[in-house]
Amino acid sequence: FEFEAYMAMKAKKINKMLDVAIPLRHPLKINEAMRYSLLAGGKRVRPILCIASCELVGGDESLAMPIACAIEMIRTASLIHDDLPCMDNDDLRRGKPTNHKVFGESTAVLSGDALLSLAFEYIACNTNNLSSAIGSKGLVAGQIMDIESEGKVVSLKELEYIHVHKTAKLLEACVVCGVIIGGGNDNDIEKVRIYARCIGLLFQVVDDILDVTKSSMELGKTAGKDLVSNKATYPKVMGIDEAKNFAYHLMNQAAQQLACFDTAKAAPLYHLAYYIANRQN
């Protein structure tokens, strides 16, 4: 299976759709700000997860593409807001100055809001899994707990709560929406939901490890921010070696959920789990 070629092909299609979704029109500044962050690169893991999950159960890519693009808009909106001075106060994202550094704080806030609103134009007639994943029961819950945990002693259970909600819930929405659109049954949905929860936590464990082992240049964002902010991280709670072991366990657990599916159709999801576990930035 040519994983890199697969990812590049899917990302190219997604980028084309995203480019069309936000034309440069009046008022120009807000549309420029939205496009700046949405089209700034990135691996498009979340929308590809949605498409791959749809195809896993026999669905067509075209069915999943609108919701896949909506998910990327929501993800980008969350990053714009996350980088703001009142949140993580980051200057770099994907190797470029963050939105508020280029367009100003007020425009950055509005561009994130606008991307979130635009996303729901794509999913108004689809499942409610996505809306619950990004609200006070999902991404927002994880973010507020993450902020409140700064400088505190946090248990492994509390840390898992933060990242299940902040990271894994949106990944769950990606795969569940994909499987529903593709015509999967309840068992298929539950399998991919567990898979997504595992890779969501895996993503965060690896992110925490990279934050203390890589430079800002290697990461394309500010390294060591969690240490400076005294945030709860997996290396801090478990130690780096145990965090690496936990990452390996999560990767294997994710792969086990795919055993009941057609091997060829499940290949992108297998390789995504491996890729997330072994990424270097």
- 83-102: pLDDT as tens digits: 999 998 999 998 899 999 99
CB atoms within 10 A of CB 218: 12
Average pLDDT for residues 234-238, to the nearest whole number?
Answer: 88
Cα–Cα distance measured from residue 245 to residue 16, given in angstroms and rounded to the nearest whole number: 38
Domain boundaries, the chain: 3-278
pLDDT of 130 > 80? The answer is no
For position 128, what pLDDT does the model report?
A: 47
For 35-86, how does the pLDDT look when each residue is reduced to its tens digit (9 = 90+)?
A: 999 999 889 999 999 999 999 999 989 889 988 999 999 999 999 999 999 9
Q: Exposure string (b/e) for 259-268, b if CB count within 10 Å is 16 or more? A: eebeeebbbb
Q: Exposure string (b/e) for 145-155, b if CB count within 10 Å is 16 or more? A: bbeebeeeebe
For 249-261, how does the pLDDT look when each residue is reduced to its tens digit (9 = 90+)?
A: 999 999 999 999 9
| Bridge partners (DSSP) listed for residue 96 | 93
Cα–Cα distance measured from residue 50 to residue 87, given in angstroms and rounded to the nearest whole number: 28
Q: How many contiguous H segments (helices) and E segments (strands) does the chain have? A: 16, 2
For position 16, what pLDDT does the model report?
A: 95
For position 147, what pLDDT does the model report?
A: 63
For 155-186, how does the pLDDT look when each residue is reduced to its tens digit (9 = 90+)?
A: 888 888 877 777 778 888 889 889 988 989 98
Domain 3-278 classified CATH 1.10.600.10?
yes
Q: Exposure string (b/e) for 94-121, b if CB count within 10 Å is 16 or more? A: eebebbbbebeeebbbbbbebbbebbee
Cα–Cα distance measured from residue 270 to residue 277, given in angstroms and rounded to the nearest whole number: 11
pLDDT of 135 > 60? The answer is no
Q: Residue 65 half-sphere exposure, CB side, CA atoms within 13 Å?
A: 15
For position 111, what pLDDT does the model report?
A: 94
φ/ψ of 97, rounded to 5, equals: -60, 140
Q: Is 84 exposed, middle or buried (0-12, 13-18, 19+ CB in 10 A)?
A: middle
pLDDT of 127 > 60? The answer is no
> 117 versus 195: which is more confidently predicted?
195
For position 268, what pLDDT does the model report?
A: 96
Which range, of 15-29, 122-136, 200-214, 229-243, averages the lowest pLDDT?
Answer: 122-136
Q: Is 138 exposed, middle or buried (0-12, 13-18, 19+ CB in 10 A)?
A: buried
